[in-house]
Amino acid sequence: MLEPRDGIPPVIADEASLAEVIAAFASGTGPVAVDAERASGYRYGQRAYLVQLRREGAGTALIDPIACPDLSGLGEALSGTEWVLHAATQDLPCLREIGMVPTRLFDTELAGRLAGFPRVGLGAMVENVLGYVLEKGHSAVDWSTRPLPEPWLRYAALDVELLVDLRDALEKELDRQGKLQWARQEFDAIASAPPPEPRKEPWRRTSGMHKVRRRRQMAVVRELWLTRDRIAQRRDVSPGKVLSDAAIVEAALAMPADTRALAALNGFGQRVSRRQLEQWQAAVDRARALSESRLPQPGQPVTGPPPPRAWADKDPAAAARLTAAKAGVTKLAEQLNMPQENLITPDTVRRVCWEPPAVVTADSVAAALTSHGARPWQVELVTPVLLEALAKSA
């Protein structure tokens, strides 16, 4: 499919046109297909730079959320309507920022996982389920570009063109496999989930951080990361365009004494101005000057079980429980033809195996699974597996 059935609609970039779209979609029928394009790798943060919608009776709309930053009116008009998204958890944060929050949804990617499809990208799903090939050449472009080129708009419109058709076909397939109620529980959990908490100490996720062993070096990573983040936010560019993670780690390992030594490191030499070098060196110097008590601690505070590789030494019985549980979950997932992580999250299995109920019964295991966020369908299927694993290693 190379062209949207109704052609490429104009981009909505003013309040009067937006009001017309809201009225049209409010009077449409059936589910509404929703997608959003971000400028990951180009801009700071994950804001939406284009929102696409399609609904029976309303057609397709392309909305510029930079020109129309408040789409809460559209969100309210679609309240109670089922939203069809592909990989919903990727788009919901940026949609929430502009006032669009679904009360009901259908996630075609997650539906594909539960139904056992080996490839669940939108293009692969549309091709395998509906028999259409979608052009997928513009997914990684800079969607903050204005005006948006026509080929990009065509691509964006096609992303929602067949989404409701895909939803309908997947619903039938899930129903055929006896998994439709499971999928609905998953969709409800996504729709009702609160916004994720901001990451604590996000600098610890710097790529290559495993090479940094000493606390003073960790402090250099932290100072450089925070400096980079402030600059990226002020300039509205992706942090990686300001300074690469590799350069941050290299500076932390080298601990340069001055800008000359810093300039000799990969990532700081060519095209880095004297002023930029001085600000990076100042970050290094701040870390060098910190007292021991203010240096970051190695590793993040652990709120759950230790890494599984340490279980055999720390608690051999727990290690045996985990081995048995993982084998049981793997076998069941294969029987159900779905990924293990969609049957039950590995973290949930680890937590129950590390701290099993004081008295292991079907009810106590089910309660433990529920307390860790497992949905009723997961509890029903996984409880017997964990019950057997916990009993074997008791």
pLDDT in tens, 90-109: 999 999 999 999 999 999 99
- Phi then psi for residue 175, to 5 deg, are -65, -40
ω before 195 within 30° of 0 (cis)? no
CA within 13 Å, CB half, 313: 4
Residues 122-181 have pLDDT tens digits of 999 999 999 999 876 777 899 999 999 999 999 999 999 999 999 999 999 999 999 999
Single pTM value for the model: 0.92
CB 105 within 8 A of CB 189: no
Residues 286-327 have pLDDT tens digits of 999 999 999 999 876 667 899 899 999 999 999 999 999 999
Q: Computed from CA positions of residues 346, 351, 352, 353, in that sequence, does the dihedral angle turn out positive or negative?
A: positive
H or E segment to which residue 31 belongs? strand 29-38
CB 166 within 8 A of CB 126: yes
pLDDT for 385 beyond 90: yes
